[in-house]
Amino acid sequence: MARIPGQATPRTLGPPPPLGPARRRLAAPARRAPSPPPARRPPLRLRRRGFSAPLRGAVTDSSRPYPWTCPGQGRSGRAGQTPRCPRCALHLRLCLCPLLRPLATEARVVVVTHFLEACKTTNTARLVPLTLRGGEVRIRGAPGLPLDLTDLEDPSRQALLLYPAAGARVLDDEFLRADPRPKTLVVPDGTWRQAGKTVRREVFLRRLPTVVLPPGPPSRYRLRAQHDPRGLATFEAVARALGVLDGPEVQERLEDVFEVFVERTLWSRGVLSASAVRGGVPPAASPRPPAE
């Protein structure tokens, strides 16, 4: 082709040059293996209470210690660092587990505990699986740990909800004569607000007949402030209910354990003298543990 004066000579485009190492990385970046999902952390409101990992386990019975983890029990300082029994939650030198002999009862007791309540050292529901054969504590509200109560639907037993709801029947001999089947007693545990939410939000519990205890003496629970003089600690209520279902001897033995639990805790706080503690204080417990 003739060249026109003043016109640039057209360049012939050849194949592109081979890519260098740097350009090759830009053109085809290396694929990385997908990273594993991060471990699930508890919500911020729980991390502030001392939880660093999800709670483990949902059910405990008399053959196993409490299966959930309560880092530091939400405490700081010397009191939070004092070693505690993983079963009864008392200071190791005050542990009452050697005194416990699980009782065989016809009635079955299942306590549904809010998981924040379960981590309190003053919680009494933990005594249920330690003192009753077949007694259970099931945790409600723990992140990633749904509550399952479907196994309680047993036609050979009558399941009852022990809760002071409107229209609840009094748990007495007249009530028991109406249905002779053995009883499964379901007891919500926590603050009044937590227990109320448990009853309202669990469909299975809403279907159960509701019962209340007959009138009785005031509570002997002295570890927390009582906002209602009619209120009872959970284990205290279980003991009185079993007094109706299984006889006064069972109630008496459970109340003895309850008194020891309360009085040893009060002694560790410096509120009670050793001579006022039922059965005394173990010799290994002196000097007194750090105050609660």
192 versus 108: which is more confidently predicted?
Answer: 108
Q: CA angle, 142 as apex, 141 and 147 as ends, to 5°? A: 60
Scan for tokens 């001392």, then name that residue.
50
pLDDT-based confidence at 143, cuts 50/70/90? Answer: confident
User: What are the sequence ranges of the domains in the chain?
Assistant: 56-67+80-146+156-222+230-285
The values of phi and psi at residue 125, to 5°, are -60, -25
- Residue 59 pLDDT > 60: no
pLDDT in tens, 9-26: 555 556 666 655 555 555
Size of the chain, expressed as the number of residues it contains: 292
pLDDT in tens, 256-290: 999 999 999 999 999 999 999 998 888 877 766 66
pLDDT-above-90 percentage for the chain: 59
Cα torsion 59, 61, 67, 68: sign: positive
**In whole angstroms, what is the distance from residue 260 CA to residue 287 CA?**
19
pTM, 2 dp: 0.75
Kindly report the average pLDDT of the chain as a whole number: 82
Which whole-number Å values give the CA distances from 86 to 56, 122, 165, 178, 238, in the listed order?
Answer: 14, 13, 33, 41, 22
What pLDDT score was predicted for residue 36?
53
Residue 88: how many other CB atoms lie within 10 Å: 24
2 versus 109: which is more confidently predicted?
Answer: 109
Determine which of 49-58, 102-111, 172-181, 199-208 has the lowest per-residue pLDDT on average. 49-58
Range 196-212 average pLDDT: 96
What pLDDT score was predicted for residue 39?
47
pLDDT in tens, 78-91: 445 678 999 999 99
**In whole angstroms, what is the distance from residue 131 CA to residue 103 CA?**
6
What pLDDT score was predicted for residue 78?
45
Torsion of CA 265, 268, 269, 271, to 10 degrees: 80
